[in-house]
Structure 1
Amino acid sequence: MACYQKHLSFVSFLLLILSLHVEHSMAKEFVPVGVVLDLNSTVGGIAKRCMSMALSDFYAVKDDYNTRITLLTKNSGNDVIAAASAALDLMMNEEVHAIVGPQRSAQAKFVIELGRKAQVPIISFSATSPSLSPAQNPFFIRTALDDSAEVKAIAAIVKAYGWREIVLIYEDTDYGNGLIPYLMDAFEEIETRMPYRSAIPPFSNNSEIAQEIKKLNETNARIFLVHMTASLASKLFVLANKAGMMREGYAWIITAGLSALVDPLGPKVKESMQGVLGLRPYIPRSKQLEEFKRRWKRNLTSSKPNVKITGLNLFGLWAYDTAWALALAVEKAGIMHSGFLKKNASKSNIKSNVDLAALGISETGQILLDTILTTEFQGLSGKFHLIKGQLEPSAFEIFNVIGKTERIIGYWTIQRGLSQELDDNNEVAYSISKDKLKQPIWPGDRTEQPPKLRIGVPVKLGFDEFLKVEWDPRTNKPIISGFSHDVFLAVLKALPFPLPHEFIPFMNKDKQSAGTYDELTYQIKLQKYDAVVGDTTIIANRSSYVDFTLPYSESGVSMVVLVKDNEKKNFWIFLKPLSLDLWLTTGAVFVITGVVIWVLEHRINSEFRGPRVQQLGTIFGFSFSTLVFAHSEKVLSNWSRFVMIIWFFVVLILTQSYTASLASMLTVQRLQPTFVDVKEIKKNGYFVGYQNNSYVEGLLIKQLTFDRSKLKPFNTYDDYHEALSKGIQNGGIAAVFDEIPYIKLFLAKYCSRYTMVGPTYKSDGFGFAFPLGSPLVPYISRAILNVTQDTDKLGAIERTYFSSRGSTNCEDPSTSISSNSPSLTLHSFGGLFIITGTVSLISLLVCFFKFFGSHWPTLSNSNPESSFWSKLIEMAKYFDQKEDPSSHPNIERHKSRVHAISSPDIIEPST
């Protein structure tokens, strides 16, 4: 009996508890909330479990709240129509006060429009596409970060590692396409190009993805940014790994949408992602989060077999906080016994759960929307605080996939940029430097930053001052040195970003040159090299398949010839001071001057009379004796004296110039080239030399039209010297054609034997070659200007390779010999000859007019019937007759002086 009473009292107690619970439950208001998710996906399965746990945790803490949210879940799959249909069914038939979801951005676009029509808040924790803007859709709330929030962080990483080109691989959906405009703007700000974008449809099979990967591999791209969902990305990375694109030299970055799901990905996928950099929102540590993670691991085994739930991810945390915020807002808004204001159904009486005309308007939608927007609390993912309808962006963490884990290598915030540690010190300056991040492990298990620029360098037997390739005897690795190499390293130091590189000799299996410089630069087009560094000349045909930087050396091609033997050994050197035309003109003027003086003095001066042979000798003797001012004949006419004064001035200048030029040839001897004209070399069929594998061969054949059989290639300066010193008669060459930097070095070594002559054939000097359209070219060119304008830096490099070459007593090798003859030319004395000719002509005209004026009338009156020529002959006879001395006072004075000198003892008697 006692036992029965005890049992009855226990049952009464249970009935009392049950009645109290029912009474308590009856006092609560259940608020229906729709959930539209792809329950077959990882994100959908985790989100559903997290939301359920969130409501259990919330009402366990807030047991006194009068409202209770009831989640009505619909499986939308990956179908846009199914998601819209599920949302419409929840609004019309279940009269939900809000809808959480849908999961994907493409689905959300349609559901948001339904929410606006029914004034039902659409709350999404996973539709992150920037194309869905809460500002443009008033009943849309995003309890996640907009994808555009991570763009600046991505750009900071790209700039920190100095990547100038990056290829975007994205999912061809609203989610993938929505980020492209923001990425383009961000990369444009940091001067990084996106030369190729790879759009992969979400339902692509392995064969289609493999085909796209093959295209990517053919572009020679090395840096990739992946923006897609986990289901598509898992296929991509496995196939990329098989294609050899996850090895050394490559770099991959994944955006937050995929980074949030790295942990739940399968081991095969994760193995294919080794070395990948990821970016995801930073989740601050908290006791609440750690406790939730422990409970999550315990509950994994209790999940349904048909639901794939793996490790926790960021979207699950956002789903948890979304449910928590919704529960708070429903209680705060005081939603009780509310429903929809129904509209008239369509004219058809057939019941349909997708009849948009029958969709009503929620009575509490606007109130609930306003309440959610102002709700704030500390959630599992951090502070829940909505700005303009979406979660406020905070910090991003940067991680590196290594093994089975993700190693955090740094953080990015709007205030500080990149940093290794995250703290609240806002006084630190904004920084974008890879030194602010921990050293990542790149694909291929390498610590060297990709991509490593593959730089081709020429292998040469000689002329190695510019670039020399040697081999380490222990490691058998190439050792590169030379002027071009050191200039390139100096240029790299002047760049605003790091540029990892490796030098690869252009050689065959015997470690000899694999071809010409044209073939070397063409390797860039063939994608064997990313650049060429060396003494590579900038010329037009090469610029059709590569881009050159600004030149870092002198430009032009010239000719080197042997210096002639000493002119002092020349038997006819005395003729060299004057050119042939000047010699002939001077002789002619001498004769003409003698004739002019004879004409002026013949009738009045007995020294210019006599037999014809004597008169001819007087003409030549007088004119040429004036060359040394030793003429014995005295002139009596004033016009003769005027002519002589001018002529003596001309003779003085000619003799002084001749003397100075001859003295210079005999004493101050200058180097004279054996050849000064290319035409002379070609006309005589002489051989010429050039540097082997140089573009100069093409210049000689195409531009200077040399016969190919007359060209000889050489490999060293000593080869030049030997071929030139032999001479053209002994199997040698007449000249060497090469670029001026090489000629300077050759002349510095053999400065006393050779000289540079002739014109300079234009080229643009030495430059560094890169692929067409390479974004590195303007940076390298600007850095070259900085280096070449720094005389101390460039001078130190030049002294290392050039200052010790040749004798220090050599003249400046850049001094070239003029191709003009050293003789004085007629052009130099043309003015003098014009003056003396004019004076002589005027004197003759005055003499003739005076003579004809006095004798022509008499002759005309005496022989009126004589012809003109007869009269001229008579005039010539008259001219040949000696004139009466009494008519010329100059003659009488001359005779008196002569008589006084010859008879000094005769004294005139005084009066």
Structure 2
Amino acid sequence: MGTLRFLLCAFVSLVFLFSSKAKSGVKEDVIGAIIDTSSRVGKEESLAMEMAVEDFNNHFNHTLHLIVKDCQSQPLQAALIAVDLIETERVKAILGPNSWEEAKLVAEIGSRTQTPVLSFDETTPNWAIDKWPFLIQASSDQSIQMKAIAAIVQSWKWREVTLLYEDVDSYANGVFPYLSDALYAVDVMIAELVAFPPANSPSPLLFDALMNLRERQCRVFILHSSLELALKIFETAKKMEMMEKDFVWIVTHSISSMVHSIDHVNISYMQGGLGVKSFFSNSGDYYKLFYKRFSKRFQARHPHEENHEPGIFAVQAYDAVWTVGLASMGGSGSISTDMRGQHLLEKILESDFNGLTSQIQFINHKLPATKIFGVINIVGRSYRELGFWSENMGFMEPVEMGAKNFSSMENLELVIWPKGPKTTPKGWTLPSSSNATLRIGVPTSTFKQFVTVEKDNSPSQGNNYTGYAIEVFKAAIDYLPYPLPYEFVNFTGTYDDLVQKVYLKEFDAIVGDVAITSKRYKWAEFSHPYTEPGLVLVSPVQLQTSHKAWLFMRPFTITMWLLTGIINVFNGFVVWLIERNHCPELKGPLVNQIGTLLWLAFNTLFSLHGEKLHSNLSRMAMVVWLFVALVMTRSYTATLTSMLTLQKFEATVKDVEVLKATKAPVGFGKGSYVKGYLTDVMGFDSYLMQCKTPEEYEQAFRNQSIKAAFMEAPLAKVFLAKYCKGYTQSGPSFKVGGFGYAFPRGSQLVPDISEEILKLSEQGILRGLENGMIASETCVDEDLIKDRSSLSPNSFWVLFTISVGSSTMALIIYVIHKLNSKELMVECLTIWVFISAVIKHRWHQRRQLPIKVSDPEMRPKAEICPSRSTFAIQGLEMH
């Protein structure tokens, strides 16, 4: 009986329904909506969809019926509602699951029944479209917002961020892949991922999670969650003093797009926060009319809400209703037949009209990704719009968007940070266990120019730390935009042990002449080098020309020497030809005349006083040639003097391979990485000697204990500054090492200190400090160089050999020529008397006996022509 009554009622209802439609000539299309009507987003979406149905029906004289169901943010409840809407209400499409958990269950039901599901979730994965072909994402993809957040982080030079997200699929899957890629592109690390329980979880869990974050060094937080959870987090953070100076909070689109709806109490907890929100144009007349109507009706329906303006979610819901409505009409202005299923899906995907947000077109079942985001600063009872960001243009000013763009957010309007706008938060802090003071280890350097540790006479009995490495670090600290207290602690162990102390957290940093090596990178992270990197070879110097015996030939070219000889012979021939009639000595045997001719030819080159000539013609020729010879000899003398006294120095060792081939002893710095590099990389198996100080290096060179030394480039500069003329750098520089400051891996100080070191270098301060260090050294090897620059017989031994050899050869030839002559006995006697006189003179000189030569016969005489020379040795004359 009850079943019969139910069927009868149903029949009556259907008859009434069809009769009413027949009268009006209008067909009713039913669509369903699944939302959480208790949330602010659900309230806005519900009202916006109702307004869209009214506007659509009025515009097309079409009856579009909307059925809204409340799922209370429960995925299973949403699935049950979907079944009811499809089977009972016979809806053509379903709108509104806002979370991925709800959307995937509803999409499963919709695909089985061929009912299009237009989801408002923003994180629909691509694979879901293939699995559920009737699923459509009716909200713009927000993945590009992560690039906007990365650009904000990069603008303020924060190097680490902590990601906070709600532990549900909608927020976990929709943020990490995109955000991690965006941050990696700008060289920013995610220090930690913190998953918060959903908004309906107990508050103590929030407190414990935030307390753990408060003890960490990273103070830049990116929050991606629902608005309900975000409000709880900010309220708890405010009570824990985590909305203070040096803290940075950045919220994503899911929160910042609803900031307009937050009441004054909750928004007071978020003061100083930043956010990115989807941009849509609100300047059109149609939107302005929608805004007024929506605000008025929303205020009437929800009087307890403080703010009544619509957000992006309301606008998207409005456009979604129009999308289904236009598709159900088949693209024409008239009512079409029943178009459920596949045909309706195709028409929805073919949509192309101007909505409230933007152009409505679907690509791969999704609306195009949002390209422009607004950058907001939460201040007072609402928020300030600082500007905009787009992937192609960067940051843009809020007025006349697109007219001027910037690469950094610093060029936009002033940001009001937590506790005021004066100082940009550094985004990190020291661990609370260190009492906010850095413990900096300082090595005991053997090169005092880099690090000097002196005992202080003050009552505290501390140490004074000076040197180039210390001064550069102090200058970098002074340039930091935030104060950084620190204290130096002396360490007497090896450099490797000191770097390991940073790894063990015994030191917060290391400042000194610590070389950057791959081995030490396992324990610590280094700043940008503050010295020139490289390993150089240092060796003693020698004169470049000391081994060139034919140096005396270099003042003239070969052509000049040949021309000079030809002119000399020609002038000698002229003088001989003219003077031979006036001097019998110019006559005689041919060999004698040739010798006399050559003697006359070259005598003018070395004897500028000339000879006694009898002919005016010979005198004229001789005067001209004397002038030429004067100029030539003076030029030769000056050039040769310059070559001998102003010589350059060269290294005694020019090639590393020579050192290895000769197995020469080599020096290196004690306690440095150089020994391992020489043996393992360069293949040195010869004797290696450790040297600590510049003085030890120099002493080893003097003692011939080492032939060369490998020094790190900055240490070599100091050594060569002190011993500036005795040693030099030779060979190529090996690009290793370089001095830097060591910090624990992941330290926030590394990029800041590196940046300040680069600024010091660009401004010339680093060079000034280095020049001051090198200028403090005075060269101490002047005497050594004077000895090395003195001329020695090595440059003249060929001349000496030619002179002695030619004299000996002339004597031998002369003796052979005179063997048959009676004059030989007289000349031999003369030579014997001369030699005896010399020997007797030396004998008496040693015994201090006077020498007396009174025999006039012991004064042999010889006369030649055309000149006369006299040779006298204490009473002995030879003419």
The residue aligned with 1:873 is none
SS in 1 for 2:110: helix
Give, in whole Å, the separation in 2 of the partners of 1:780 and 1:309.
46
Q: Alignment identity in percent?
A: 30
- Aligned mate of 1:72, from 62, 67, 84: 67
Report the AA paired with residue 235 of structure 1.
Answer: K
The residue aligned with 2:540 is none
Q: 1:289 to 1:22 in 2, by over 3 A?
A: same
Q: 1:520 to 1:132 in 2, by over 3 A?
A: same
Contact 2:374 2:388 in 1 (8 A): yes
Aligned pairs (5 A) from 1:606-685: none
Q: Does 1:146 align with 2:149?
A: no
**Deviations along 1:788-808, whole A, 9 cap, x unmatched?**
8x9x9477323564256366x
The residue aligned with 2:395 is 418
**Deviations along 1:80-125, whole A, 9 cap, x unmatched?**
1100000011001111000012122110011011111111110123
- Aligned mate of 1:796, from 767, 777, 785: 767
Report the AA paired with residue 298 of structure 1.
Answer: K
Report the AA paired with residue 364 of structure 2.
Answer: K
Q: 1:198 to 1:317 in 2, by over 3 A?
A: same
Give, in whole Å, the separation in 1 of the partners of 2:328 and 2:154.
46
The residue aligned with 1:157 is 152
The residue aligned with 2:344 is 368
Give, in whole Å, the separation in 2 of the partners of 1:252 and 1:805.
50
- Aligned mate of 1:220, from 217, 220, 236: 217
- Aligned mate of 1:201, from 194, 197, 200: 197
Shift of 1:764: 7.5
Q: 1:183 to 1:425 in 2, by over 3 A?
A: closer
SS in 2 for 1:170: strand
Give, in whole Å, the separation in 1 of the partners of 2:533 and 2:474.
21
Give, in whole Å, the separation in 2 of the partners of 1:491 and 1:505.
13
- Aligned mate of 2:384, from 399, 407, 412: 407
Residue segments in structure 2 that go unaligned for 5+ positions in a row = 1-18, 431-437, 454-464, 535-670, 673-711, 725-735, 786-835, 837-879
Give, in whole Å, the separation in 1 of the partners of 2:101 and 2:113.
20
SS in 2 for 1:439: coil
**Deviations along 1:262-318, whole A, 9 cap, x unmatched?**
121232332221221111111112222223222333223421679998542211111
SS in 1 for 2:482: strand
Contact 2:472 2:766 in 1 (8 A): no
The residue aligned with 1:445 is 420
After superposition, the CA RMSD in angstroms is 5.2
Structure-1-length-normalised TM-score: 0.52
Give, in whole Å, the separation in 2 of the partners of 1:467 and 1:325.
77
- Aligned mate of 2:360, from 384, 397, 400: 384
Contact 1:123 1:143 in 2 (8 A): yes
The residue aligned with 2:408 is 433
Residue segments in structure 1 that go unaligned for 5+ positions in a row = 1-20, 340-362, 469-479, 494-498, 508-512, 557-694, 697-738, 752-762, 816-900, 902-911
Q: 1:119 to 1:22 in 2, by over 3 A?
A: closer
The residue aligned with 1:629 is none
Aligned pairs (5 A) from 1:757-776: 766-774=739-747
Contact 2:162 2:218 in 1 (8 A): yes
SS in 2 for 1:183: helix
**Deviations along 1:563-609, whole A, 9 cap, x unmatched?**
xxxxxxxxxxxxxxxxxxxxxxxxxxxxxxxxxxxxxxxxxxxxxxx
Give, in whole Å, the separation in 1 of the partners of 2:130 and 2:394.
27
Q: Does 1:231 align with 2:228?
A: yes
Shift of 1:164: 2.6
**Deviations along 1:39-86, whole A, 9 cap, x unmatched?**
1111111110111122223333x1x43x32111111111211100000
The residue aligned with 1:117 is 112
Contact 2:263 2:306 in 1 (8 A): no
Shift of 1:31: 0.9
Report the count of equivalent residues.
560
Give, in whole Å, the separation in 2 of the partners of 1:526 and 1:445.
37
Give, in whole Å, the separation in 2 of the partners of 1:802 and 1:522.
29
Shift of 1:540: 12
- Aligned mate of 1:243, from 240, 261, 274: 240
Give, in whole Å, the separation in 2 of the partners of 1:35 and 1:132.
24
Report the AA paired with residue 191 of structure 2.
Answer: P
Give, in whole Å, the separation in 1 of the partners of 2:409 and 2:240.
29
Contact 1:333 1:367 in 2 (8 A): no
Contact 2:120 2:139 in 1 (8 A): yes
Structure-2-length-normalised TM-score: 0.54
Q: 1:44 to 1:545 in 2, by over 3 A?
A: same
**Deviations along 1:706-765, whole A, 9 cap, x unmatched?**
xxxxxxxxxxxxxxxxxxxxxxxxxxxxxxxxx9989999999999xxxxxxxxxxx978
Give, in whole Å, the separation in 2 of the partners of 1:385 and 1:324.
12
The residue aligned with 1:282 is 279
Contact 2:263 2:307 in 1 (8 A): no
Give, in whole Å, the separation in 2 of the partners of 1:459 and 1:406.
46
The residue aligned with 1:43 is 41
Shift of 1:227: 0.9
Aligned pairs (5 A) from 1:338-737: 364-392=340-368, 393-421=370-398, 432-451=407-426, 456=438, 483-484=468-469, 487=472, 501-507=481-487, 546-549=524-527, 551-553=529-531
Report the AA paired with residue 742 of structure 2.
Answer: A
Give, in whole Å, the separation in 1 of the partners of 2:758 and 2:179.
31
Report the AA paired with residue 115 of structure 2.
Answer: V
**Deviations along 1:861-911, whole A, 9 cap, x unmatched?**
xxxxxxxxxxxxxxxxxxxxxxxxxxxxxxxxxxxxxxxx9xxxxxxxxxx
Give, in whole Å, the separation in 1 of the partners of 2:502 and 2:517.
16
Give, in whole Å, the separation in 2 of the partners of 1:425 and 1:743.
55
**Deviations along 1:488-532, whole A, 9 cap, x unmatched?**
699899xxxxx964343335xxxxx68869999999889999766
**Deviations along 1:196-240, whole A, 9 cap, x unmatched?**
111112133211011111222233112221111111111111112
Give, in whole Å, the separation in 2 of the partners of 1:459 and 1:194.
28
Report the AA paired with residue 397 of structure 1.
Answer: G
Q: Does 1:268 align with 2:265?
A: yes
**Deviations along 1:320-369, whole A, 9 cap, x unmatched?**
22122222222345796966xxxxxxxxxxxxxxxxxxxxxxx5222222
The residue aligned with 2:250 is 253
Contact 1:129 1:147 in 2 (8 A): no
Shift of 1:141: 1.6
Shift of 1:778: 8.3
Q: 1:795 to 1:206 in 2, by over 3 A?
A: closer
The residue aligned with 1:652 is none
The residue aligned with 1:85 is 80
Give, in whole Å, the separation in 1 of the partners of 2:418 and 2:324.
43
Q: 1:533 to 1:370 in 2, by over 3 A?
A: farther
Shift of 1:409: 1.8
Give, in whole Å, the separation in 1 of the partners of 2:23 and 2:501.
80
Report the AA paired with residue 246 of structure 1.
Answer: M
Report the AA paired with residue 798 of structure 1.
Answer: L
Q: 1:399 to 1:535 in 2, by over 3 A?
A: farther
- Aligned mate of 1:188, from 181, 184, 190: 184
The residue aligned with 2:776 is 805
Give, in whole Å, the separation in 1 of the partners of 2:505 and 2:263.
35
The residue aligned with 2:28 is 30
Give, in whole Å, the separation in 2 of the partners of 1:243 and 1:265.
21
Contact 1:410 1:436 in 2 (8 A): no
